[in-house]
């Protein structure tokens, strides 16, 4: 199985994301944002956390228009899997690959701490090992994680069971406690919490590793 | 030719930064501040000389990059 992790100027979780993919059995290629194509035979693209382009204009706005993103959009449209974490989630929203937007935290503070999440759906390649309602601990570290979408979009996300994770205790004011959402085909996941930071027992828990192992298992049966 | 783009959060979208400014103004003794909305002002120098062309160009820039129309609205002035 092949994963690519994109690095933008200002990404800072790209290596951790590559390590988490590798631990779940992926061959990982690192891709620079100025490249125009993705490696052949790819199964998943990871968009990492960080502060791409210094968060200028809006978080993820400039990265979403980087050359590599046309290839990522094409990959997603053709049924490829994409995992965007934190800044990667912001990039996916800015690129229009996921609905909604991530605004400044309601409390105006950067929030960096372990967070309890509720798995909102088991119906995705990223969450299938869990039962809906399972509580997991995955850390957050963001200033702009306050998920917003209009009422129709929120209703559609609920009706289509596309909310992947909710916060047990909302740290940022997100609508409907949303911590992560899925695309219509359920193969693109954007989430503010960092599963790659909870993917090793020596470093803050292993709940996050489930996301990567789940994806590996799902891809093995495709 | 210059363009001035104003980007504001849409009405109904809570503006946490504007709220913080409103509280701070109240704390400084400015009574009667009923609301504060914080936005962005972007000035652009353009090669275009025709105002209509310039405005169309800047509107396209807003749609594609300068504003996130999920949460923001924009106005364009050609100067």
Query: What residue in B sits closest to A63 (Cα-Cα)?
Result: B65
Specify whether the CB–CB gap between A209 and A195 falls below 8 A: yes
Count of beta carbons in the 10 Å neighbourhood of residue A61: 22
Distance, CA of A46 to chain centre: 8
Residues in chain A: 222
Q: Of A33, A59, A81, A86, which is the active-site residue?
A: A86
Specify whether the CB–CB gap between A165 and A175 falls below 8 A: no
Mean pLDDT of A2-19: 98
pLDDT > 70: percent of chain A: 100
Q: What is the pLDDT of residue A4?
A: 98
A112 is catalytic: no
User: What are the DSSP calls for A81-143, one per residue?
Assistant: EEEEETHHHHHHHHTTSSSSEEEPPTT-S-EEEEEEEEE--S-STTTTTSPTT-EEEEEEEES
Count of beta carbons in the 10 Å neighbourhood of residue B45: 7
Selected for mutation to probe chain A from B24, B71, B73 (highest A CB count within 10 Å) is: B71
Q: How far apart are CA A124 and CA A70, in angstroms?
A: 24
Q: What is the pLDDT of residue A222?
A: 65
pLDDT tens digit string along A163-200? 999 999 999 999 999 999 999 999 999 999 999 999 99
Q: In this model, does residue A67 exceed pLDDT 90? A: yes
Report all structural domains of chain A as residue ranges with CATH numbers, in order of start: 2-220 (3.40.50.880)
pLDDT tens digit string along A35-49? 999 999 999 999 999
Q: What is the pLDDT of residue A203?
A: 85
Selected for mutation to probe chain A from B16, B36, B42, B73 (highest A CB count within 10 Å) is: B16
Query: What residue in B sits closest to A64 (Cα-Cα)?
Result: B65
A100 chain-B contacts, CB cut-off 8 A: 70
ipTM metric: 0.88
For B2-78, CATH number out of 3.30.43.10, 3.40.250.10, 3.30.1280.10, 3.40.190.80 equals 3.30.1280.10
Q: What is the pLDDT of residue A125?
A: 98
> First and final CA of chain B: distance in angstroms?
7
pLDDT > 90: percent of chain A: 98
């Amino acid at each position: 199985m092949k994963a690519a992790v994109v690095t933008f100027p200002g990404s800072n979780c790209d290596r951790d994301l590559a390590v988490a993919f590798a631990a779940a059995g992926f061959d990982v290629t690192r891709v620079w944002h100025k490249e125009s194509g993705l490696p052949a035979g790819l199964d998943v693209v990871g968009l990492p956390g960080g502060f791409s382009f210094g968060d200028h204009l809006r978080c993820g706005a400039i990265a979403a228009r980087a050359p590599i993103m046309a290839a990522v959009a094409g990959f997603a449209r053709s049924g490829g899997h994409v995992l965007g974490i934190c800044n990667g989630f912001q990039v996916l929203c800015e690129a229009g690959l996921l609905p909604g937007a991530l605004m400044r935290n309601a409390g105006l503070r950067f929030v960096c701490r372990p967070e309890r999440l509720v798995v909102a759906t088991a119906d995705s390649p990223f969450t299938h090992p869990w039962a809906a309602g399972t509580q997991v601990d995955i850390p957050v570290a963001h200033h702009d994680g306050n998920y917003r979408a209009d009422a129709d979009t929120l209703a559609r996300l609920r009706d289509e069971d596309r909310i992947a994770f909710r916060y047990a205790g909302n740290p940022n004011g997100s609508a409907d406690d949303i911590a992560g959402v899925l695309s219509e085909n359920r193969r693109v996941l954007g989430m503010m919490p960092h599963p790659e930071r909870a993917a090793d027992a020596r470093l803050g828990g292993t709940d996050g590793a489930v996301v990567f192992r789940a994806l590996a298992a799902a891809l093995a049966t495709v | 030719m210059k363009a001035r783009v104003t980007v504001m959060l849409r009405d109904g979208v809570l503006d946490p930064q504007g709220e913080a400014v409103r509280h701070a103004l109240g704390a400084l003794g400015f009574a009667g501040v009923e609301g504060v909305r914080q936005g962005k002002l972007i000035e652009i120098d353009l090669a275009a000389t025709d105002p209509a062309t310039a405005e169309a160009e800047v509107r396209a820039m807003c749609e594609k990059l300068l504003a996130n129309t999920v949460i923001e609205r924009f106005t364009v002035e050609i100067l």
